[in-house]
Amino acid sequence: MRGPHNIIRLIRTGATFERTGAMNVVLDAFEAPKPLRILARTLGWPFKWLGYKGDPTMPPATRALTALGPAYIKFGQVLSTRPDVVGDDLAVQLRVLQDKLPPFSRAEAMTQVEQELGQSVDQIYSEFSEPIAAASIAQVHRARLRESDQEVAVKVLRPGIERAFRKDVDAFYFAARIADLFAPGARRLKPMDVIKHFDGVVQGELDLRLESAAASEFAANTKDDEGFQLPQILWNHSARRVMTLGWADGLPLGDNAALDAAGHDRTALAERVLSLFLRHALRDGYFHADMHQGNLKVAANGDIIAYDFGIMGHIDEYTRRVYAEILFGFIKRDYKRVAEVHFEAGYVPADRDVDEFARALRAVGEPIFGMDATHISMGRLLNYLFEVTERFGMETRTELILLQRTMVVVEGVARSLDPHINIWNSAHPVVEDYIKKSIGPRAVVSDLMSTAKVMARFGPRLPALVEQALIAQTHQNDERGRRPTRSAWVVPGLCGLGLGMVIAFAAAAFS
C-alpha cells in the first residue's frame, strides 16, 4: 500500500500548493526544469478542489505548508536553513513559518508521561498545567516536582507523531525519486540528499533523549560563560517521548518594552548575544542553531537564558580555524589572505586565479566597510561571500550554510535590541582571541601533543607492525629476485615516524 498512499498524499500536496498559490513560488525557487513543472501542475491543477485552503493571511508557501500539517511545517523550517537549495527569498519566507498548532489535551499528555516514566503524574508532579506552547512535534507544560518542589517545564511529543512523520517522509522520498526520474536537470539540487538531511533532523527531534543529550553537552561547554544560563536537564524524569528541565524564568528577549521597564541594558545584551554565538561556534564547534528571540529569555540578573535544543550546529576544528581566518581577514581587510585561506582549505579549485579571487573578495568587503557602522552586516557579508565563491566553483558545505543562517538570525536579534550596534566591533575580540589560541605557536604545540597521544596508543603495536613489514618485504624480494623497491622504505619510515612522535611529545611536554 506504500505506492497508493504516496501517490494520494502527493496529489493532496500538489492540490494544496495549487489552491494556495504556492506552486509557482516553490517551482521558481527551485528553478525547476520544464518536465518537473509539467508533472507538478498535472498532480495539482485537476485536483485543486482537494487541496487545503489554509490561512489566507499567510504568504503562499507558509500557508500551504501550515495547512498540510506537522511534517510539512518541519520540512519548511529545515529548508529555511538551506538557502543554497531554495534561494534566499523563499528561505526568508520560511524562516517566519509559524510553528504554532492546536495543542493536544492535558489528559493525553499525562497518559504519555505515565507510560514513559512508569509512574503516575500525581506521584511525580504536584502540579501539571494545561499546555502553554504547542509546536509541530511536541508541546510544553508547566509543572512542579513533588519530591523537591522545583518548578519545571515538561516537553511531551504529540501522540502518533512518529507514525505521521514516517508516512509523510516516505512520500517525500517518493517525490524525490520521481524528480530524479522525470527531471534529470533537477538532480543538481540533490533532492534525495535534501530529504535524507530532513529525515535525520526529524529522527533526532523525535527522540527527546537526544535533545536532552544535546542540552547536556551544550551546558558542559558553556558552564563558565559569564552572563549565560541553560535550564537544567532532569534525566531521572526524562525519556524518549518526555523531557523535563528546570523552568526558565525571565523576560522574552524580543520584548524591548519589558526589558527597558526592568532596567536591562539592551546594548550590552545585543553585544553578548553576538559574542556568545561566536564563542560557541569557534571555541566549542557546537552552537545553538536556532537562536531567535522565541528561544531566548533574560533572567532578572541580566543573564541570557537559551532553551529548545532541537537544532544544534557542529563544526570540526579545521573548519573553525578556516572560518575564523576568513572573518579575521575581513576584519583586517586583508583580502589576499582571505583568498589564500579559501584555496588552502580546498574550498575553491586550485586551477582558479588567487589574485582574481582576492579582487572579487575586495569587491565584497569594501562597500560594506564603507558603510555607516549601523549598516555593517555580517549576514550580508556572508551572503555576498557565498555568491562570489559560487562563481569561482566553491562546493556547498552544509555546516557552513547552517552557520551562515544562524549568524544572520543572531545578527537580527542583536539589531532588534540595539539598532546602532557595530557588529564588527563586537565580533573582533572573540575572533582575535580564537585566532591567537588556535593558529599561533600554542596551537602548533597543542596539535603536536594531540598527534603524539594518538601515536602513543599505537606504541605497543609498533614492534609487531615493523616485524610484519620486514617479513612481507623479504618474502616479496625473495619471490621476485629483485632489490628492495620503494615500499622497502616503509620500515625505516615507521621507525622514523615513531621517533618523530616521541620527539614531538617531549617537546610539547617541556614547552
Chain segment 260-290, per-residue pLDDT in tens: 999 999 999 999 999 999 899 989 999 998 8
pLDDT of residue 509: 41
Q: Are 420 and 373 in contact (CB under 8 A)?
A: yes
CA-CA-CA-CA torsion sign (436, 221, 295, 80): positive
Q: Which residue has the cell 507514525?
A: 163
What pLDDT sits at residue 495? 44
84 is catalytic: no
14 vs 482, more confident: 14
42 vs 103, which has greater pLDDT?
Answer: 103
| Separation CA 386–CA 404 (nearest Å) | 10
Residue 101 has pLDDT above 80, yes or no: no
Q: Is the pLDDT of residue 55 over 80?
A: yes
Residue 187 lies in a domain: no
Q: Do 81 and 126 fall within a single domain?
A: no
Are residue 277 and residue 321 in the same domain, yes or no?
yes
Over residues 143-192, the pLDDT tens digits come to 999 999 999 999 999 998 888 888 888 888 887 887 777 666 555 556 77
Answer whether residue 302 is part of any domain. Answer: yes
254 and 351, same domain (yes or no): yes
Question: Which residues are CB-neighbours of 483 under 8 A, at least 6 positions away?
Answer: 477
Q: What is the pLDDT of residue 319?
A: 84
Residue 261 located in a structural domain? yes
Residue 84 near residue 401 (C-beta atoms within 8 A): yes
Decide if pLDDT at 2 tops 60: no
The proportion of the chain whose per-residue pLDDT surpasses 70, expressed as a percent, equals: 74
Q: What is the pLDDT of residue 233?
A: 94
Residue 125: is its pLDDT beyond 60?
yes
Strand 228-229, strand 304-306: pairing = parallel
Quick one: average pLDDT of 476-490? 55
Residues 149 and 124 in one domain: yes
Confidence tier at 84 by pLDDT (50, 70, 90): low
User: Residue 499: is its pLDDT beyond 50?
Assistant: no
Percentage above 90 pLDDT, the chain: 26
Its domain, for residue 151, covers: 105-157+207-247
Q: Of 252-266, 448-462, 494-508, where does mean pLDDT reach its minimum?
A: 494-508
Q: Residue 374: what pLDDT?
A: 60
Separation CA 319–CA 375 (nearest Å): 28
Residue 274 shares a structural domain with residue 368: yes
Backbone angles phi, psi at 89, to 5 degrees: -65, -50
User: Please, what is the average pLDDT of the chain?
Assistant: 79
Indicate whether 265 belongs to any domain.
yes
Tell me: do 125 and 232 sit in the same domain: yes
Is residue 380 over pLDDT 70? Answer: no
What is the model's pLDDT at position 115? 94
Q: How far is CA 446 from CA 274, 453, 509, 511, in A?
A: 28, 11, 10, 10
- Could you give the 3-state DSSP secondary structure of residue 296? strand
The top-scoring range by mean pLDDT among 1-10, 144-153, 164-173, 200-209 is 144-153
Helix 2-20 × helix 60-68 angle, to 10°: 140
In the structure, what pLDDT confidence band is assigned to residue 510 with cuts at 50, 70 and 90? very low
Total domains present in the chain: 4
> The domain that contains 239 carries what CATH number?
3.30.200.20
Please identify, among 247, 266, 300, the residue that sits at the C-terminal boundary of a domain: 247
| CB 17 within 8 Å of CB 64 | yes
pLDDT at 431 over 60: yes
Per-residue burial over 430-456, b if 16 or more Cβ lie within 10 Å, else e, is bbeebbeebeeeeeeeeebbeebeebe
Q: In terms of domains, do 316 and 434 share one?
A: yes
Residue 87 has pLDDT above 80, yes or no: no
Residue 186 belongs to a domain: no
Quick one: pLDDT at residue 511?
A: 43
Lowest-pLDDT range, 148-162, 204-218, 398-412?
398-412
Q: Domain end: 388, 421, 439, which one? A: 439
Same structural domain, 271 and 416: yes
How buried is residue 391: exposed, middle or buried, by Cβ count under 10 Å (0-12/13-18/19+)? exposed
For residues 296 and 432, state if they share a domain.
yes
Query: Has residue 130 been placed in a domain?
Result: yes
| Domain termination site, one of 247, 272, 298 | 247
Q: 393 and 267, same structural domain?
A: yes
**What pLDDT sits at residue 500?**
44
Query: Which phi-psi region, left, alpha or beta, contains residue 461 (left: φ > 0; alpha: ψ -120 to 50)?
Result: alpha
For residue 491, the model assigns a pLDDT of: 45
b/e for 181-207, b at 16 or more Cβ within 10 A?
Answer: eebeebeebebeebbebbbebbebbbb
Whether the per-residue pLDDT at 16 is higher than 50: the answer is yes
Rounded to two decimals, the pTM is 0.71
273/407 same-domain check: yes
User: Are 392 and 309 contained in the same domain?
Assistant: yes
430 pLDDT above the threshold of 80: yes
Using the predicted structure, report yes or no on whether residue 494 has a pLDDT greater than 50. no
- Phi/psi for 60 (5° steps) reads -50, -50
pLDDT value of residue 381: 62
502 versus 2: the higher-pLDDT residue is 2
Q: Please give the residue that has the higher pLDDT: either 188 or 387.
A: 387
Mean pLDDT (whole number) for 287-305 = 90
- Residue 158 to residue 138: CA distance in whole angstroms: 5
Out of 168, 225, 290, 308, pick the active-site residue.
Answer: 290
In a domain, 505, yes or no: yes
**201 in any annotated domain:** no
